[in-house]
Amino acid sequence: MEIRTSVPLAPYTTLGLGGPARFFAECRSPEEVRETLRHASSRRLRVFVLAGGSNVLFPDRGFDGLVLHLAGDDLSFDDAGSHVLAHAWAGTDWDTLVQAAARRRLGGVECLSGIPGSAGATPVQNVGAYGQEVADTITSVRAIERGGFGNVEFSGDECRFGYRRSRFKGEDAGRYVITGVTFRLEKNARPAVRYPELMRALERTAGAGGVRGGEPTPEDVREAVLALRRGKSMVLDPSDPDTRSAGSFFTNPVLSPGAFADLERRWKKAGGAEAVPSFLESDGIKVPAAWLVERSGFPKGYRKGNAAVSTKHALALVNRGCTAAELLALADEIRAGVRTTFGVQLEPEPVIVPSS
């Protein structure tokens, strides 16, 4: 294991922003993770764990500590009777796993196609899209405790998943380094398509003869999801400047009935004629953050200097030659606008790393 110094962090992130790491170590096994943690502890260095870099914003000054980069792929599938267990090293590219599962006609993660990042990052915020979440399939998460360097393992229930959250993002944030995840995937599964947008896309594909027998397979769903995400610049593409983002910059707020009623009153008072879109959740009413952003005066393509709202998706903030500080200034402006218009506080989805 080699520890390097003054390594630029921007190339390791989808936003392409951030100054250098004081120290940088690539780890390809749990043993290397443990060795790196011991090294940092003996020198009292702060540690930031980085994998795919799709959900992180480093400051322009960089990181005055050690960045532990989970690198490399290690993915295997074990037959377990009615289902298959997919075992992934934390650094494994997430979409590589999804593609491999779809080709095997294994159901459970096909709606999560095209999401950048690593398999080990998915449990942290319970990655989800188009009605699926990794909480639906995760059976275990393996990790190393930063304090004692011991191995730990959590069942899916012990991860305490919620909407875009888990124990690793909540009460245990920063306590563990996830090293591996196991997913339970269904054989010959009939995809559960819940979102109207995805249903319409599959219907169009079926009408063009792309879905054989009228029954979509996980591969069919994957291709439809990828097409939808490409249309929103949510699939990494070096030729598309709108993909220089961290994906959705804000989570969809989940409101209490009272807060949602207040939002509706504010919208009607402002002259809004259309109904506020909403989805019932177990812990409240979810409102699309993109809808709130656009109706607070920040349409697709809105620009502040070289930081911009994507021309295709109002939740993606795009680097068009800006600094990290400029992107955060745009995010703050949007949050203030939504708070003034609707009384709703948007929460950022990416990890915003302090410099020290």
Give the pLDDT of residue 206. 61
Place of tokens 């809105």: 302
Model pTM?
0.88
Domains of the chain: 3-70 (3.30.43.10), 75-231 (3.30.465.10), 241-352 (3.90.78.10)
Q: What tens-digit pLDDT sequence spans the chain (356 residues)?
A: 789 999 999 999 999 999 999 999 999 999 999 999 999 999 999 999 999 999 999 999 999 999 999 999 999 999 999 899 999 999 999 999 999 999 999 999 999 999 999 999 999 999 999 989 999 999 999 999 999 999 999 999 999 999 889 999 999 999 999 999 999 999 988 887 888 889 888 888 764 445 555 678 999 999 999 999 988 888 878 888 888 998 899 999 999 999 999 999 999 999 999 999 998 887 899 999 999 999 999 999 999 999 999 999 999 999 999 999 999 999 999 999 999 999 999 999 999 998 76
DSSP symbols for 174-188:
TTEEEEEEEEEEEET
The set of catalytic residues is 164, 248, 349
Instruction: Look at residue 212 in the predicted model and tell me its pLDDT.
Output: 52
Alpha helices in the chain (DSSP H): 30-42, 94-103, 196-207, 218-231, 257-269, 289-294, 324-342
Using an 8 Å Cβ cutoff, are 318 and 307 in contact?
A: yes
- Site of tokens 């993002």: 169
For the chain, give the number of residues: 356
